[in-house]
Amino acid sequence: MAEIPVLKIGDCLLVSIQIDMHDRLAMALQDDLTRRIVADRARGVMIDISALEIVDSFIGRMLNNIAAMSRVLDAVTVVVGMRPAVAITLVELGLSLTGVRTALNVDKGLALIRQAIDEQGGSFARRSL
Partner 1 sequence: MPVEASDVLSLRSSDDVVRARQAVRAKAVEAGFGIVDQTKLVTAASEIARNTVDYGGGGTLLIEILREGARRGVQLTFSDNGPGIPDVKAAMTDGFTTGGGLGLGLSGAKRLSNEFSIESMPGKGTTVTLARWNR
Partner 2 sequence: MEAKSMTAIPRLLAGNEQALLDAWLDSQRKSGTLRSGQISEAQLGNDSRRLLAALSEGAASGKVDDIATPAWDHARNVLEEVSRSRAALGLSPSETATFVFSLKEPLFELLRRTANGDPERLAHEMWTATLLIDKLGLYTIETFVNSRDAVILRQQQELLELSTPVVRLWEGILVLPLIGTLDSARTQTVMESLLEEIVAEGAEIAIIDITGVPTVDTLVAQHLIKTVAAARLMGADCIISGIRPQIAQTIVHLGLELGVISKATMADAFALALRRLGKAVTENPRLRPEQ
- Report the residue number, 34 or 45, with the smaller CB distance to partner 2: 45
For residue 17, state whether it binds partner 1 (rule: CB under 8 A). no
Separation of alpha carbons 25 and 28, rounded Å: 5
Binding footprint of partner 2, residue count (CB under 8 A): 18
Site residues (CB under 8 A) for partner 2, limited to 41-80: 80
> Which residues lie closer than 8 Å to 7 by C-beta, 6 or more apart?
13, 14, 15, 16
For the beta carbon of residue 19, count every other beta carbon within 10 angstroms.
Answer: 10
Site residues (CB under 8 A) for partner 1, limited to 68-87: 84-86
- Report the residue number, 54 or 104, with the smaller CB distance to partner 2: 104
Minimum distance of partner 2 from residue 82's CB (angstroms): 5
Residues, the chain: 129
Helix (H) or strand (E) holding 39: helix 23-40
Under the rule (CB under 8 A), what is the footprint of partner 1?
20-24, 53-58, 60-61, 64, 84-86, 88-89, 92-95
